[in-house]
Structure formats: C-alpha cells, structure tokens
Structure 1
Amino acid sequence: MMDYIAYVHTQDADALTVRNAPLGDKIEFISNGSKVKVQGKPVLKGKWNWVEISENRWVASEFLKVVKGAKVVATRTNETVAGGLRVYKTILVDRNGKTVNTVRLISGRIGKQTPSHVEDSLTPPPFGIYTFDAPGWVYKGSDLKAQFGGVWSPITPTFNTNRSEIGIHYDPSVFSGNYNVGTVGCFATPTVKEKDIMTNFIQTQKPKHFIFNEG
C-alpha cells in the first residue's frame, strides 16, 4: 500500500492517542482535524488496525479520514489581528489537490480564542472536519451585510458537538475597533479581498469539506 495523507477524525472531537507500536505505550496525542501521512500497511492488533504516521508513531486507522476533492483547510497560527483574534492560515485546495490560494480566517471574540463545544460561548468551534451544507452555494443578501458582510456558506461538523449554525462569511468588524470585533463562533475572512477570493473558490470549486486544525 502506498503512503497517503489523512486527517484525524474522532467521534467527539477528542485528541487521538499516538503509541510507540501497535497497541503499545501512549506517547502523545494529536488533535482532531490534524493532517498525518500514513506509511506502509496497517497492522491488526486488538480490535484496531494500526498505521504508522512516522517512525515509531502509531495510530488506529479507524480514527483517520481521507478527504478527497476540493477542500478548505484552516490551520491555527501564532499571529493575531485586531488586538487578540487568532489568525488561521487557510489554504484553498482545488479538485486536483493543488493549493490555488491562501487567505486568513478568524473566529470567536477577543479573549475567547480557545475552541469549545459550548454553544453561545463566543469561541471558535472545535477542531475537526466539517462539511459544506451546499457545496458551491454562497448566500448573498442585504440582510447579511451588518454582521456577515453580505455572504454566508453554512458548514456542519462531522463529529458530536453542541455547536451549530456555523458558517463561513466576511466580518466587516475585524478592523473597525468597535465592541463587536470578531464572530460569535463562525469563521470569517477579515478583508473584502479575502472574502472575494473565498467566495470565488467556493462557487467555482464547490469544496465539500472544511478542515479546522490546531497546527
């Protein structure tokens, strides 16, 4: 079996245990949504199929997902904007697996930047894999302009969480300096230019998956 790329996909968005051998000792944890490179063939031990993701680092393949086709992948960085909003470097990957552009996303309010399962917490939602409710569809309407910058693409978690009504939009408040800076838990581009890039990508490439990871 050839090496392949997959993403951590746990049912409750928990971190995935990494062991030093199939069913061996625990050595670390990797967060939901993390990208890994699987090497070699799986080894059945206990009730799981174990795969190696680098030398002497094994995980159960049942908690990995191969994500094919166009996708949006947002990775946390140490950069912040607007006085405390964490920046997520977001690559736009086309149907052929090529990165065609990069934008920034922000999520949550200042001072509430730790992803959480708690509804109405004003934090980013949990790390993991989400699906676009309607690939290729971007709702545009004057009723969205005040808070959502005129565009909205809903996404849904593929894992158990209390978070709902999540989407990707433009946040005109990011550099406004007002009390409303940030989002209530959606993902937002911070500039009009990035909004247009994201909107065009969603409409033309019709990505099915949004992957949110810790980096």
Structure 2
Amino acid sequence: MLFEFVLASFSCVTFSACNSQANLLKTPQVTEVESTNFLEIPTENLTPKKLNSKKSTFASTSDSSFEKGDESKNSIALSSQGSYMTLTPTGLTNTLGNPLYELRLYANGQLRGTYTTVSGRAYTQNRNRHQAGTEAPLPDGIYKVAKTSVAGTIAEAGDRFLAIQPLFRTGRSALGIHYDPSFEKNNGEDGTSGCIALTNRRDLDLVLNYVRTYQPQYLEVNIQ
C-alpha cells in the first residue's frame, strides 16, 4: 500500500513538471524591433491639437483625445522647453522655382541653428501629400526622429539618411532628412520625393551633429 502511494505521488510530480515545461515552450519570445532606433517621446507631455496657423505653437495638457475632423491636420503639441525641430515656409524659391523651407533646430528651448531645405519638387507642391508616389512635400504634423542616420540607399538621398516617422495617419512612408545632390541642377532631380533635404552636405553634417548631441524629441512640420 505504501509503495502504491509513493508511486502515485512520484507520477503527480512528474506530470506537473512536464506541464510546466510545456507551458514554457509555448511562451512567445519577445524580440527587439527596428523601431527602437527612434527616440521615445514622453506620453505625459503629449496632447493632440489641430495645426491652424503657420506659427509653431506648443502646449501641455492632460487631454489625450484626438480632435475630430481632418486627421491629416492632427498634430501633437509638446513642451517647447526641450530639444526639437520645426519646418516652416520661407516664402522663397530656388532658381528652379522649388519652394524653400526653413529647418530650425532647438536645444533646451533655445534656437541653435536654421537651415534652408527643400521638400518635393517644383511641380509636385500641389499634389496629395498623404498619397504615396506623388513626390509631394511631406504632410504637416509631428514626426518622431531617429537617433542616428543610416547609409543612403539611392543616389538622390545622398550618402546619409535620418529617418523620421509620422505620428499621425498618412499614406506616406520612408520619409527622412538628407541632402539633395541635385539642388538647383537642371537635371530633373532638383528637390525630393517627399523627404526634407538640406541644400549641401556640410549643412547635413551640422544637422546630424545636432541630432547626436541633443537627441530632439520630435519634428513639427507646418508648411502647407
């Protein structure tokens, strides 16, 4: 009788151990994804708003609901005391008629530099900015900025590419910051397919150095 009791107890222990091992084997493994290359924006400082002027405005509130209406205009207002970037119109064009935009770099709430850029091409400025393949300038809104640049994959993206990720609904993707090797060259390639492009390699060096040093929390585009 004692032997049968011991045997039954041993069987229960063995069965429980097998079940535990089986459950461990079924547990999915979590792996790091490529999106970790982007800086995390603290959600406690975020609040959606609509871009309704050409001026860059910032605020902080506990309201976390998106404003109804045109989602293409929805933006996220952040504190202006950190490090961030803005893109606004200059009202000027280059020699080929491509509009020029001003990229401003802020660190600890202070303006650290301004750079002339292009986005889209002279003949694509009025195309749908939310539709892929239009080569229109990138749409207005807030973008997450990558921590570091990567090598450019096509000649017109230059040798380095800093990815930016829209934090709103849009059909555009693969957007970033680089320099335009064809700036003001009459070769049909002046401008970009939607990215933000500096006019020369040296300016890109300075922008990338700023990103490495200050790690901007976001980029606000307000050009339309």
* Native 8 Å contact 1:8 1:34 kept in 2: no
Query: CA separation in 1, counterparts of 2:76 and 2:185?
Result: 40
Which letter maps to 2:149? V
1:86 maps onto 2:95 in alignment: no
**Gap change, CA 1:205 and 1:119, over 3 Å in 2:** same
**Gap change, CA 1:180 and 1:66, over 3 Å in 2:** same
* Native 8 Å contact 2:91 2:99 kept in 1: yes
In the TM superposition, what are the counterparts of 1:192-211 in structure 2 within 5 Å?
Answer: 192-211=201-220
Gaps of 5+ in 2: 1-44, 68-73
Query: Partner residue of 2:137?
Result: 124
* Native 8 Å contact 2:96 2:184 kept in 1: no
SS in 2 for 1:185: coil
Cα offset, 1:63, TM superposition: 6.6
Which letter maps to 1:103? Y
TM-score normalised over the length of structure 2: 0.66
1:190 maps onto 2:211 in alignment: no
SS in 1 for 2:193: strand
User: CA RMSD of the aligned region, Å?
Assistant: 3.3
Cα offset, 1:214, TM superposition: 2.9
* Native 8 Å contact 1:138 1:203 kept in 2: no
**Gap change, CA 1:179 and 1:101, over 3 Å in 2:** same
* Native 8 Å contact 1:76 1:214 kept in 2: yes
Query: Partner residue of 1:103?
Result: 115
SS in 2 for 1:161: coil
Query: Partner residue of 2:56?
Result: 35
Which letter maps to 2:139? P
Find 2:172's aligned residue among 149, 163, 178. 163
Query: Partner residue of 1:76?
Result: 89
Which letter maps to 1:90? L
Which letter maps to 1:80? T
Query: Partner residue of 1:59?
Result: none
Q: 4+ residue runs of structure 1 moved beyond 6 angstroms? A: none
Count residues in correspondence.
171
Query: CA separation in 2, counterparts of 1:105 and 1:158?
Result: 22
Which letter maps to 2:177? I
Query: CA separation in 2, counterparts of 1:156 and 1:109?
Result: 21
* Native 8 Å contact 1:169 1:195 kept in 2: yes
Query: CA separation in 1, counterparts of 2:182 and 2:79?
Result: 33
1:138 maps onto 2:138 in alignment: no
SS in 2 for 1:200: helix
TM-score normalised over the length of structure 1: 0.68
**Gap change, CA 1:201 and 1:67, over 3 Å in 2:** same
Query: CA separation in 1, counterparts of 2:48 and 2:183?
Result: 31
Query: CA separation in 2, counterparts of 1:192 and 1:172?
Result: 8
* Native 8 Å contact 1:155 1:166 kept in 2: yes
Gaps of 5+ in 1: 1-5, 17-29, 50-61
Answer with 1 or 2: which has the greater Rg: 2
**Matched residues, percent identical?**
29
Cα offset, 1:193, TM superposition: 2.5
* Native 8 Å contact 2:104 2:113 kept in 1: yes
Which letter maps to 1:164? S
